[in-house]
């Protein structure tokens, strides 16, 4: 198939150049070194010199030619990169030196103009398979040594701070990573859907954005060393409880979409069990008008359960606002099975060290919701993603907890989006620890963002490329999007969510005219709701999900595999 059919865009995927030196093997792609292996052991997932703008978008560099030299048992690669932002620029010279037992990646950057950034410098991604829970030893800038371990369940805050050197053991090897040029700390990047822990420079507690000054020179370095023979990591597979059933499917719908004459026909393309009615009280349109749009849709399409996703202002009393919305719901004549309540301010992330926005406590909000909606199933959590849920956890006693998932928060290349599926079981297991006895719901969860918790906007993508934090990702409407959606369903299935929301109704995250590959897949998966999950496995680039007596398979690679075309999927009798 051509690029449009595979990816929805004519932009070719980034090419990975394989670099080998002795037992060391790594990939070099767009100035980033990835999947550093010593023998069969992956010791580091990625090292990159990155620049983030004020919305945490990734600034794409211009990359120059690579110079290669081999002498005295070492391989030396060097290349320039140039970053542009608001009339300013960074000129960076990067140097990569590999020996039999070490790797050094260093950078010297010269600033021209006033360069605004949220983060500039090296990030190091540590793989998660076999590393979660592994022993770690951290050396701090004052020389103190801390013996600890990588988090097992996902940490809401940074597990390690002020890192000069980090030593850990995994897969029979001892790996040491030393940092120079700034203050480094680590975040548990699994919570954003990345298959990694990330060590990065400049503490989040410091102000951002900040400005690099004209004429300023930055120097940073990451130095790796290792000991031991090592072994390949075996892919993990969550156990499936005997009574685990595949979740009901929902599609998220806005009031404007509900008013479309084509809404009922579009819903019938998939026949979801549920419709997630997105009502935003922070908009200028009254809540009553939004609810009336859904009531009209329900009159024309009554074959699904309607759930209310209610985003509230909460500028005054939660009781007064929620009782007003309850009156509007009764007046609209809309019948909903459940009400999910989320403060509007909580759609934006509050990073470590930042001041929490004004908002009534969540226990007061949900107590008021119980008084306003006494006859409804009630839920909480976040309309955004798991990090926000993890940092601001709902009170006990709710009927269900929900959060979304997005694979392009930090990176949007094909490999990173597919690798995100490695992190989904970690998210689901950590969310289950928060949810407790409540029902677990997932979504909306699409490749593209519907709203950016980490900046003032989603990132524009007018050229249809692979852009992090974009609200329109062309892969959603191509073969890639269907394969990823089946991979997501496979990764989630063992954890027994009650509802998942893998698409919108219209727009770039929707169903198209029915011809998009994802639409046919979602129709088949919707038909599998309530079926026992007998197999859910992602290995060797293949996702396999058995629901009752039907076997779904997706090729998560760009080459033919197991009788499937690149990013193809199938369903057959098991």
**What SS3 string covers 74-133?**
EEEEEEEEEEEECCEEEEEEEEEEECCCEEEEEEEEEEECCEEECEEEEEEEEECCCCCC
Instruction: Judge if 221 and 253 occupy the same domain.
Output: no
Residue 570 maps to a domain: no
Q: Which of 148, 103, 150 is nearest to 130 (CA)?
A: 150
Instruction: Judge if 221 and 255 occupy the same domain.
Output: no
What pLDDT does residue 1 have? 65
Residue 201 maps to a domain: yes
Residue 518 maps to a domain: yes
Residue 233 maps to a domain: no
Residue 192 maps to a domain: yes
What pLDDT does residue 407 have? 96
Structure tokens at 200: 């990065």
96 phi, psi to nearest 5 deg: -120, 120
Residue 208 maps to a domain: yes
Instruction: Judge if 258 and 204 occupy the same domain.
Output: no
- Cβ atoms of 33 and 16 within 8 Å: the answer is no
Instruction: Judge if 196 and 309 occupy the same domain.
Output: no
Structure tokens at 32: 């980033």
Residue 289: which CATH number? 3.20.20.80
Q: How many domains does the chain have?
A: 2
Q: Which of 562, 475, 551, 470 is nearest to 517 (CA)?
A: 475
Instruction: Judge if 15 and 99 occupy the same domain.
Output: yes
What pLDDT does residue 236 have? 66
Angstrom distance (rounded) from CA 259 to CA 282: 20
- Residue 495: strand pairing partners: none
Instruction: Judge if 209 and 261 occupy the same domain.
Output: no
- Residue 343: strand pairing partners: 312
Query: Which of 514, 530, 546 marks a domain boundary?
Result: 530
Instruction: Judge if 278 and 206 occupy the same domain.
Output: no
Angstrom distance (rounded) from CA 3 to CA 251: 28
Instruction: Judge if 268 and 220 occupy the same domain.
Output: no
Instruction: Judge if 14 and 111 occupy the same domain.
Output: yes
Q: Is 34 helix (H, G, I), strand (E, B) or coil?
A: strand
Question: Which residue range(s) make up the domain with 168?
Answer: 3-227
Angstrom distance (rounded) from CA 148 to CA 137: 6
Residue 562 maps to a domain: no
Residue 466 maps to a domain: yes
Pairing of strands 274-280, 305-312: parallel
Query: What is the residue-level pLDDT of the chain in tens, covering all 574 positions?
Result: 699 999 999 999 988 999 999 999 999 999 999 999 999 899 999 999 999 998 888 899 999 999 999 988 899 999 999 999 889 999 999 999 999 999 999 999 999 999 999 999 999 999 998 899 999 999 999 999 999 999 999 989 899 999 999 999 888 889 999 999 999 999 999 999 999 999 999 998 898 899 999 999 999 999 999 998 888 777 667 889 999 999 999 999 999 999 999 999 999 999 999 999 999 999 999 999 999 999 999 999 998 999 999 999 998 889 999 999 999 999 999 999 999 999 999 999 998 778 899 999 999 999 999 999 999 999 999 999 999 999 999 999 999 999 999 999 998 999 999 999 999 999 999 999 999 999 999 989 999 999 999 988 999 999 999 999 999 999 999 999 999 999 999 999 999 999 999 999 999 999 998 999 999 999 999 999 999 999 999 999 999 999 999 999 999 999 999 999 999 999 999 8
Instruction: Judge if 222 and 304 occupy the same domain.
Output: no
SS3 string, 468-501, reads CCECCCHHHHCHHHHHHHHHHHHHHHHHCCCEEE
Express the helix, strand and coil content of the chain in percent, nearest 5 each: 20, 40, 40
Structure tokens at 197: 């822990």
Structure tokens at 250: 């929902």
Instruction: Judge if 168 and 255 occupy the same domain.
Output: no
Angstrom distance (rounded) from CA 399 to CA 380: 8
Residue 59: which CATH number? 2.70.98.10
Instruction: Judge if 223 and 366 occupy the same domain.
Output: no
- Residue 47: strand pairing partners: 33, 124
Angstrom distance (rounded) from CA 42 to CA 233: 8
């Amino acid at each position: 198939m051509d690029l449009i059919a595979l990816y929805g865009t004519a932009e070719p995927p980034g090419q990975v150049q394989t670099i080998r030196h002795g037992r060391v093997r790594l990939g070099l792609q767009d100035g980033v070194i990835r999947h550093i292996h010593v023998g069969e052991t992956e010791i580091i997932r990625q090292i990159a010199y990155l620049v983030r703008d004020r919305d945490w978008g990734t600034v794409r560099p211009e990359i120059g030619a690579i110079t290669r030299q081999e002498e005295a048992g070492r391989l030396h690669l060097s290349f320039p990169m140039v970053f542009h932002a608001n009339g300013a620029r960074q000129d960076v010279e990067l140097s990569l030196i590999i020996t039999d037992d070490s790797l050094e990646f260093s950078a010297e950057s010269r600033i021209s103009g006033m360069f605004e950034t949220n983060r500039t410098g090296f990030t190091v991604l540590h793989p998660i398979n076999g590393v979660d829970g592994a022993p770690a030893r951290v050396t701090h800038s004052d020389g103190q040594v801390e013996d600890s371990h990588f988090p097992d369940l996902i940490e809401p805050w940074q597990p390690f701070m002020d890192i000069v050197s980090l030593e850990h053991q995994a897969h029979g090897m001892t790996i040491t990573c030393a940092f120079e040029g700034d203050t480094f700390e680590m975040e548990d990047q699994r919570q954003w859907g990345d298959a990694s822990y990330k060590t990065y420079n400049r503490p989040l507690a410091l102000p951002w954005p900040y400005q690099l000054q004209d004429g300023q020179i930055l120097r940073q370095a990451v130095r790796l060393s290792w000991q031991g023979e090592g072994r390949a990591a075996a892919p993990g597979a969550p156990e499936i409880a005997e009574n685990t059933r595949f979740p009901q499917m929902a599609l998220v719908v806005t009031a404007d979409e509900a008013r479309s004459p084509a809404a009922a026909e579009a819903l019938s393309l998939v026949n979801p069990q549920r419709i997630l009615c997105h009502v935003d009280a922070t908009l200028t349109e009254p809540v009553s008008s939004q609810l009336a749009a859904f009531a009209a849709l329900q009159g024309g399409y009554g074959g699904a359960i309607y759930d209310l996703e209610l985003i509230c202002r909460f500028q005054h009393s939660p009781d007064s606002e929620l009782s007003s919305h309850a009156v509007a719901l009764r007046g609209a004549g809309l019948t909903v099975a459940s009400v999910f309540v989320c403060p509007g301010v909580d759609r934006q992330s509050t990073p470590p060290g930042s001041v929490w926005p004004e908002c009534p406590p969540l226990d007061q909000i949900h107590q008021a919701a119980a008084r306003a909606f006494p006859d409804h199933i009630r839920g909480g959590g976040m309309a955004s993603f798991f990090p926000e849920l993890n940092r601001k956890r709902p009170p006990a006693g709710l009927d269900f907890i929900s959060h979304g998932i997005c694979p392009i928060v930090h990176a949007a290349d094909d490999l990173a989006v597919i690798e995100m599926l490695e992190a989904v079981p970690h998210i689901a297991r950590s969310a289950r620890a928060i949810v407790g006895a409540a029902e677990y719901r997932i979504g909306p969860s699409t490749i593209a963002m519907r709203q950016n918790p980490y900046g003032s906007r989603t990132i524009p993508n007018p050229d249809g490329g692979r852009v992090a934090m974009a609200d329109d990702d062309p892969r959603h409407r191509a073969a890639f999007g269907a394969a990823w959606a089946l991979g997501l369903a496979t990764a989630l299935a063992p954890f027994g969510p009650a509802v998942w929301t893998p698409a919108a109704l219209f727009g770039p995250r929707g169903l198209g005219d029915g011809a998009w590959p994802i639409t046919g897949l979602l129709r088949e998966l919707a038909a599998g709701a309530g079926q026992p999950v007998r197999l859910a496995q992602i290995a060797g680039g293949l996702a396999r999900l058995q629901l009752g007596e039907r076997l779904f398979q997706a090729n998560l690679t760009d080459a033919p595999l197991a009788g499937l075309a690149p990013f193809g999927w199938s369903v057959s009798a098991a």
